[in-house]
Structure 1
């Protein structure tokens, strides 16, 4: 074989090797571009999903832009008060309460009979502010769910009766029994107007007034009061005098004294 032939073969082999390297390099670039394309597509999809989730789950933020459902017959600023008793009663008892609060339960046990009698006699109107104080402190949802259920009972004209049933069956504050909506509905069967009431049950299940309860809690946070129950009579804080604590007898005496005064309170 001549020297020229050997050189020609080496050159051809070199060209083939070079061409093979170029093809391999091109294939690597294509694979890299394909991988990068997939990554970009995944990131783009993730970004879109993130926006959708953010917009949908804006949950509280989006809900805060919507009107808050308000129970029937509520009064006062923001319609956050559930009134019981005659609107023209000269004495107005303001009660900030939480259905999980043991001190609220003790207040109800001691004062329930007196308050109900004064209401029935037209001498007292009670104005209830329902809050979720214990939920915020201990976690859970019993305060909120019970307050929502009581607001649902207000729609059915059975707030006072259901209010009394909840306190008569109040669990220890560390047991979030009222967080179970089935429990709230079961207890409602003891109130004639709520027994088998599908509208009430749907209201409880759907948390129709959860936003209203949150609004009431926010108002309580801004009120300057720091505990439940907070009890006011025509604006006088009845919790303030720790040396001379309130009794049912003293409450009735104060209500009697207000009967001689005018005009009637306009609500809180």
Structure 2
């Protein structure tokens, strides 16, 4: 009996240590964005109500059935888990792991959206978006899953980038699982010209890409990332940036230029149009 008690105590201590480490990770990431983007008030609020550390348990958003993983049109990478925006021949790749319910993901997107689109449209980078559902796992609900499926449906008709931006511009409070409502996701699609079609509505309502989203989330968890957002430039983390340089729009442009120069001096890729969404 005493041995069982001791094992229980050790397990409790281990859980406490893990919880403290996750909290430290959240604080590091919050401070990085506060310093880099100057969003003190908004990000402080996001840190109070937000949970960005990865939950290694269930993603909290299982549907009644789990069919085969149907990747959205044009998905790339291993197991077709990445949605690419930008030219195939761009010299560098920015990989972004995100959760549509994650408040710090929204702050990252809203702070760096214009810079990222400029780098995309001028052929300096291509962006690989990879989707996670950790907020569903941490807080319960299905908004992360439902929004990610809807974004994959938008990708099927070449509207991912614009719809992705609309979702982050209209992100509800993290504690309010509004994205769990397919009707809301379909209504937001009306802000992207040509997206709110019968085919898109059917894709959203049927959860066509649900299993693909879960597979992507599993890959995120196996990657042992600290949380969302995670941004990697040619595989190297830039958020939070190791060293003394904070992430700012100017620094992001500089890091991309340096990466492209190192990358055998490759010229910019084919220019791509910026996404359109109201």
Query: Normalized against structure 1, the TM-score is what?
Result: 0.72
CA displacement, residues 83-113 of structure 1 (integer Å, 9 cap, x when unaligned): 0000111111000000000000000111000
Distance 1:242 1:226 in 2: 17
Distance 2:163 2:187 in 1: 11
**What does residue 226 of structure 1 align with?**
226
Higher relative contact order (CA 8 A, sep 6+): 2
**What does residue 128 of structure 1 align with?**
129
CA displacement, residues 158-190 of structure 1 (integer Å, 9 cap, x when unaligned): 000000100010111101010100000000001
Residue aligned with 1:175, SS? coil
The aligned runs of 1:192-203 (5 Å cut-off) are 192-195=193-196, 197-203=197-203
Residue aligned with 1:163, SS? helix
Distance 2:141 2:204 in 1: 16
Query: Normalized against structure 2, the TM-score is what?
Result: 0.70
Residue 248 of structure 1 deviates from its aligned partner by: 1.1
CA displacement, residues 240-263 of structure 1 (integer Å, 9 cap, x when unaligned): 427532111111001111222335
CA displacement, residues 14-67 of structure 1 (integer Å, 9 cap, x when unaligned): xxxxxxxxxxxxxxxxxxxxxxxxxxxxxxxxxxxxxxxxxxxx965xx4xx53
**What does residue 77 of structure 2 align with?**
76
Residue aligned with 1:126, SS? strand
Gaps of at least 5 residues in structure 1 are 1-57
Counterpart check, 1:205 vs 2:208 = no
**What does residue 87 of structure 2 align with?**
86
Distance 2:232 2:88 in 1: 17
CA displacement, residues 134-165 of structure 1 (integer Å, 9 cap, x when unaligned): 00000001000000000000001000000010
> Aligned pair in 2 of structure 1 residues 133, 191: CA closer, same or farther (>3 Å)?
same
| Higher share in helix | 1
CA displacement, residues 205-252 of structure 1 (integer Å, 9 cap, x when unaligned): 000000000000000010010300001000111124275321111110
Gaps of at least 5 residues in structure 2 are 1-62, 267-278
The aligned runs of 1:33-48 (5 Å cut-off) are none
Counterpart check, 1:171 vs 2:172 = yes
Distance 2:121 2:162 in 1: 13
Residue aligned with 1:127, SS? strand
Residue aligned with 1:125, SS? strand
Distance 2:157 2:76 in 1: 16
